[in-house]
Amino acid sequence: MINYKTLVRFMKYMAPPPGEYERGLFAHTDKPVSTIICDDQVSGLEIEVNDGQWIKLSLSPSSFCFVAWSNGRLKAVNHRVMMSGDKDRLSLAAFAIPVEGTIIKAPRELIDEQHPQLYKDFKFM
C-alpha cells in the first residue's frame, strides 16, 4: 500500500474572446499515483492519440476520468485544455501524491512472466 496525500484542485478556465480558440492548460501527463477528473460538461479537455493528433474528450454527465500507474500496460495520456465558445469551464481534480520517502514500485498484481517489471523501485522525493 502506498503512503500518499491527496491534493484536490478546483480549476476554472475562462472563455476566450468570441470566435477564438486558445489554450487553457498546456499539454502534459499527470505524475501522481492516480488522478480523478470531473468536469461541468463544457468541452475543452483533449487527449493526444498515437499519430500526434488531438481529439476532444466528451464525457457523459455521470462519468469521470481515472488514471493510475500500470507498469506500462497503459500509457500515461498526454492531455491539454483548449477553450472555445462563450462559457467558462470548471473542473475538479483529485490527485493521490506519494508522501516523501515512499518507495514507489509497480503493483505486484501487474507483474508476471508475460509482463515483467519495467521500472526500478525508487524513493519518492
How far is it, in rounded angstroms, from Cα 18 to Cα 6? 37
How far is it, in rounded angstroms, from Cα 125 to Cα 122? 9
CA-wise closest residue to 37 among 4, 5, 10, 70: 10
Residue 107, domain member (yes or no): no
Residue 75, domain member (yes or no): yes
Residue that is written with C-alpha cell 493528433 in the block = 53
Residue 119, domain member (yes or no): no
Residue 106, domain member (yes or no): no
Residue 53, domain member (yes or no): yes
User: Structural domain tally of the chain?
Assistant: 1
How far is it, in rounded angstroms, from Cα 88 to Cα 92? 14
CATH classification of the domain holding 18: 2.60.120.810
Domain limits for position 53: 4-98
Q: Is this prediction's pTM over 0.85?
A: no
Would you tell me how many other CB atoms lie within 10 Å of the CB of residue 94?
16
6-59: per-residue pLDDT in tens?
A: 999 999 999 999 989 899 999 998 877 788 888 888 888 999 988 899 999 877
* Pair 121, 103: CB distance under 8 Å: yes
